[in-house]
């Protein structure tokens, strides 16, 4: 599967601002500059480019970068579609690279929601036509990364996706 590895922009573009300090709570080790984007589908490409750049910076394998991007795409899409439900809002995205990990953090003001709450493995014995709609994307996203953390901080949803890099020099 090909991964778009085009360079992320060096600075903010239309509809995008750098996150202000404290946008997503306390700074984490290895924090890079973050983005504050509109909570709409048109802004999701910015998240993908940001994650690809983090993967490059952290020297993740193409598989690891794909898994991180899959999880970030699903989480960001769910924030837009199910968190804000079309209402105006914004999402703060930051991330970083440390010797131990590459991480991406999302922060939003949508109603509180911990994605782990309803996550369960799909029943592969049930025919596709009879399976309940929903939940598979969250399951795939949260199992694609090595670690997922969620916390409600001062009324903001804060989710962190992590890929461990203990095998990277």
135: pLDDT strictly greater than 70 = no
Handedness of CA 5, 6, 12, 17 (dihedral sign): negative
Inter-residue contact 58 to 97 (CB < 8 Å): yes
Highest mean pLDDT: which range of 93-97, 113-117, 127-131:
93-97
Give me the pLDDT at residue 131, please: 67
Neighbouring-strand partners of residue 147: 162
Sheet containing 101-108: order of strands: 16-18, 35-38, 90-97, 101-108, 156-164, 147-153
Inter-residue contact 101 to 28 (CB < 8 Å): no
DSSP per residue, 107-153:
EE-SSP--TTTT-----TTS-GGGSPSSSHHHHHHHHHSSEEEEEEE
The mean pLDDT value of the chain amounts to 80
Distance CA 50, CA 7 (A): 9
12: pLDDT strictly greater than 90 = no
Distance CA 95, CA 35 (A): 10
Write the DSSP symbol of residue 31.
Answer: B
Does 83 or 32 have the greater pLDDT score? Answer: 83
22: pLDDT strictly greater than 50 = no
143: pLDDT strictly greater than 70 = yes
Q: Which residues contact 116 (CB under 8 A, 6 or more apart)?
A: 142, 148, 150
121: pLDDT strictly greater than 60 = yes
- The CATH architecture to which 27-113+133-164 belongs is 2-Layer Sandwich (3.30)
Share of the chain above pLDDT 90, in %: 59
What is the model's pTM? 0.78
The predicted model gives 82-86 an average pLDDT of 93
Inter-residue contact 128 to 72 (CB < 8 Å): no
Distance CA 65, CA 135 (A): 22
- 16-25, 56-65, 102-111, 128-137: segment of lowest average pLDDT: 16-25
């Amino acid at each position: 599967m090909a991964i778009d590895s085009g360079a992320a922009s060096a600075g903010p573009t239309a509809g995008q601002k750098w996150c202000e300090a404290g946008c997503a709570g306390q700074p984490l080790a290895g924090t890079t500059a973050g983005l504050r984007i509109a909570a709409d589908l048109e802004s999701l490409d910015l998240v993908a480019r940001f994650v690809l750049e983090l993967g490059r910076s952290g020297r993740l394998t193409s598989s690891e970068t794909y898994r991180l991007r899959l999880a970030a795409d699903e989480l960001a899409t769910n924030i837009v579609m199910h968190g804000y439900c079309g209402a105006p809002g914004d999402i703060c995205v930051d991330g970083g690279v440390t010797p131990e990990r590459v991480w991406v953090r999302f922060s939003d003001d949508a109603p509180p929601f911990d994605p782990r709450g309803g996550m369960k493995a799909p029943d592969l014995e049930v025919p596709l036509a009879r399976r309940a709609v929903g939940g598979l994307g969250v399951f795939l996203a949260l199992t694609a990364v090595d670690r997922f953390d969620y916390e409600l901080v001062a009324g903001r949803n804060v989710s962190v996706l992590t890929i461990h890099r203990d095998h990277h020099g």
